[in-house]
Amino acid sequence: MADQPIIKLHDGNMMPQLGLGVWQASIDDARNAIVEALKVGYRSIDTAAIYKNEEAVGQALQETDVARDDIFITTKLWNDDQQNGQQAIETSLKKLQLEQVDLYLMHWPCPEKDTYVDAWKKMIELQQQGLAKSIGVCNFHEVHLKRLIDETGVTPVVNQIELHPMLQQRTLHAWNALHQIQTESWSPLAQGGEGVFDQDVIKQLAKKYSKTPAQIVIRWHLDSGLVVIPKSVTPARIHENFQVFDFRLDKAEVSEIAKLDQGKRLGPNPEEFNG
């Protein structure tokens, strides 16, 4: 893999700490973005069945010179398929043109459906079948995670949650860490700034390190021990977002950014989302 930080998950598998997200990208845009990202050095791609662009990963893998084994591919089990995991992963794998994903995530708990524990049991089987190297979840709160662990004995390796300077989820991040669950930040750039890029502390640090506000925010995720998957379909930004390994924020700077937390969600609250 390229020279970049790699995280060891609790099942022993290795995951790049920085990846490319492709939510809201068309198949063509996602394919071009992935090919570009692989050229730049990214080795992790985050897609999902519901993004309707898993095909882009398969197409990009055909185009790139980078070996399959050097690329970490994540996809997700959509909510409507919580009772249909086998068929869902087989459909995803076909679109991805893969025999195995590196990480299969349950997309939301959807508490009202009350099928997430059964879905998790099925995901454990899918891992045993070799269709997913690692398994994890997204958008799970402590109460949901506790049920998975208590009822199956299998702890997700990753919990991918909305996390950016305006929504830092420190309690959940700490709970995950205590249970060896790697926290992964979705919408890490607050979907393109949402005012974060204009904050004085971000602008001052950008000036100090001769970096852009987006690079400071990505560095803050890395220095907070988070896996981070900024999305871009713009080649210049795909490059920019990867040029973050030549500086570090110190503890005091990480703490300064911590003060920006407003508990402000851009996406739904997992307790209430059952779509």
Ligand X SMILES: NC(=O)c1ccc[n+]([C@@H]2O[C@H](COP(=O)([O-])OP(=O)(O)OC[C@H]3O[C@@H](n4cnc5c(N)ncnc54)[C@H](OP(=O)(O)O)[C@@H]3O)[C@@H](O)[C@H]2O)c1
**Binding-site residue set for substrate:** 107
If one asks whether residue 270 binds ligand X (CB under 6 A), the answer comes out as: no
199 makes contact with ligand X (CB under 6 A):
no
Give the number of residues in contact with ligand X, rule: CB under 6 A. 26
* Candidate list 51, 104, 116, 209, residue with the active-site label: 51
* The binder of ligand X chosen from 18, 22, 167, 260 (CB under 6 A): 22
Q: Which stretch binds ligand X (CB under 6 A): 61-69, 86-94, 174-182, 223-231?
A: 223-231
Between 60 and 130, CB nearer to ligand X: 60
Residue appearing with tokens 């990202």? 37
Rule CB under 6 A: say whether 274 interacts with ligand X: no
Nearer to ligand X, 128 or 193 (CB): 193
Pick the binder of ligand X from 26, 115, 155, 191 (CB under 6 A): 191
Stretch that binds ligand X, among 18-26, 109-117, 172-180, 256-264 (CB under 6 A): 18-26
Kindly report the three-state secondary structure assignment for every residue of the chain.
CCCCCEEECCCCCEEECECEECCCCCHHHHHHHHHHHHHHCCCEEECCHHHCCHHHHHHHHHHCCCCHHHCEEEEEECHHHCCCHHHHHHHHHHHHCCCCEEEEEECCCCCCCCCHHHHHHHHHHHHHCCCEEEEEEECCCHHHHHHHHHHHCCCCCEEEEECECCECCHHHHHHHHHCCCEEEEECCCCCCCCCHHHCHHHHHHHHHHCCCHHHHHHHHHHHCCCEECCECCCHHHHHHHHCCCCCCCCHHHHHHHHCCCCCCCCCCCCCCCCC
Annotated catalytic residue 51: yes
Distance, CA of 96 to CA of 116 (rounded, Å): 24
CA-to-CA distance for 189 and 203, rounded, in angstroms? 14
233 binds ligand X (CB under 6 A): yes
241 binds ligand X (CB under 6 A): yes
Q: Give the whole-angstrom CA distance, residue 99 versus residue 182.
A: 24
Q: Does residue 139 bind ligand X (CB under 6 A)? A: yes
Report in angstroms how near the CB of residue 155 gets to ligand X at its nearest: 18
Listed ranges 63-71, 86-94, 188-196, 201-209: which one lies at the site for ligand X (CB under 6 A): 188-196
The yes or no reply on residue 95 touching ligand X (CB under 6 A) is no
Alpha carbons within 13 angstroms on the beta-carbon side of residue 16 total: 25
Q: How far is the CB of 39 from ligand X (least distance, A)?
A: 16
* 237 touches ligand X (CB under 6 A): yes
Closest separation in Å from C-beta 249 to ligand X: 17
Q: Report the residue from 72, 186, 220, 242 that binds ligand X according to the rule CB under 6 A.
A: 186
Q: Which residues would be at the binding site for ligand X (CB under 6 A)?
A: 21-23, 46, 107, 138-139, 160, 186-192, 214, 229-234, 237, 240-241, 267
Active-site residues: which are they? 51
